[in-house]
Amino acid sequence: MLGQGTFAKVYHARNTKTQESVAIKVIDKEKVMKVGLMDQIKREISVMKLVRHPNIVQLYEVMATKTKIYFVLEHVRGGELFNKVQRGRLKEDAARKYFQQLICAVDFCHSRGVYHRDLKPENLLLDENSNLKVSDFGLSALAECKRQDGLLHTTCGTPAYVAPEVINRKGYDGAKADIWSCGVILFVLLAGYLPFHDKNLMDMYKKIGKAEFKCPSWFSTDVRKLLLKILDPNPSTRISMEKIMENPWFRKGLDAKLLRYNLQTKDTPRVDMNADFDSMSTSPSTETKQQEERKPTNMNAFDIISLSTGLDLSGMFEESDKRRESKFTSTNTSSTIISKIEDIAKNLRLKLTKKDGGLLKMEGSKPGRKGVMGIDAEIFEVSPNFHLVEIKKSNGDTLEYQKVLNQEMRPALKDIVWAWQGEQPKQQQQPSC
């Protein structure tokens, strides 16, 4: 065994005919199904089939049984780049070589519509020739994951490496977010420590939001200039991959073969996420799929931090209209919460539509002062018996919405509410998160 996580174990294996060494990631299918992560596994397979590059860990084959899924992967023997940094900062030439390989690999991913979203030294491996290999596409996204606004909205990654717009929870460009993470990695390679670090997580987020960092004295002028362009808190003015690859500091000693590989015009076939998985007879039953679609969105650490009372991060980035949204927590099941909201919508004569991921959309029957009133209620699962519900105006007049919320909805919801945002919870059993 090479390592293990919550849902998988990784083993060293050898092809008995060719003697080639590989790594096999064995995933427990039942555990993955239970927490609703099957789509994430499908996406990881599709992504790794798309991104075949010298500086990306290769997926050779996927197999499955009734209980297990097997990823046969390239065996990278040199360990994590993180281990090398732990021993001390790197010299500029060595850091530049790894950064060149990282940028070329990530640029290749972006050209295939893939965004990694968790770039950090722990996910960068080294082979026996000390060449960098990007790994762990478990949090990656495909271009198809973008919403109608053309942005990604899942807040994920490792706090010290994520871009400010990701923390902001307003949507972000996956490519620009990856570029920020690459900049943090470059800083770490050259400095031996993080550019944004604080024992207090909220203070660290504030530093990230304002891009408050200081380059040590041994950084060259060219590196400082490049880092300032990469670690720009405004994604619209942040340097692009193309401009990074044209930068004189970046191009010094660059292996021309890497650039040629990225400039290949041969199209990579698009991969059908569901078809790949269904062909292995591993797709869940129709009933299970329906249950997964109805299941509320799982909250990760970023969501809990940013939605908790007193920890709303949006104020660090832009002014928001607090009158448009309210949040409450509940110790009831998601089905109970949905049933209660359905009853309220019926009593208020609001048309209710259910969407995937625990989103309920309510709409009035008559136009108000500013059009037909629309209200969204989104349910987030913290644990099976503890949920956070966000209610916000999606359309119409704010005063009309506030009247319906405070005079009609809040009193009707009192039986299922544990606490409204900014208020003390009811004296009852503490929820288990």
Which entry of 39, 93, 107, 118 is annotated as an active-site residue? 118
- Binding site annotation covers 25? yes
- DSSP code for 406: I
β-pairing verdict for 325-330 and 386-395: antiparallel
Alpha-carbon distance of 1 to 120, in angstroms, equals: 23
Annotated catalytic, 118? yes
Q: Do residues 180 and 211 touch, judged by C-beta distance below 8 A?
A: no
Alpha-carbon distance of 13 to 147, in angstroms, equals: 40
For tokens 């089939």, the residue is 49
Provide the CA 204 distance to its chain's centre, in angstroms. 19
Helix, strand or coil, per DSSP, at residue 329: strand
Quickly list H helices, 195-333.
Answer: 201-210, 221-230, 241-246, 248-251, 256-262, 273-278, 286-294, 301-307
Helix, strand or coil, per DSSP, at residue 369: strand
- DSSP code for 161: G
- Helices 174-191 & 221-230 angle (0-180, nearest 10): 150
Q: Do residues 185 and 124 touch, judged by C-beta distance below 8 A?
A: yes
Angle (CA) 83 60 116, round 5°: 50
**What is the H or E stretch that residue 272 is in?**
none
Residues making up the annotated binding site for ATP are 25
Residues making up the annotated binding site are 25
State the catalytic residues. 118
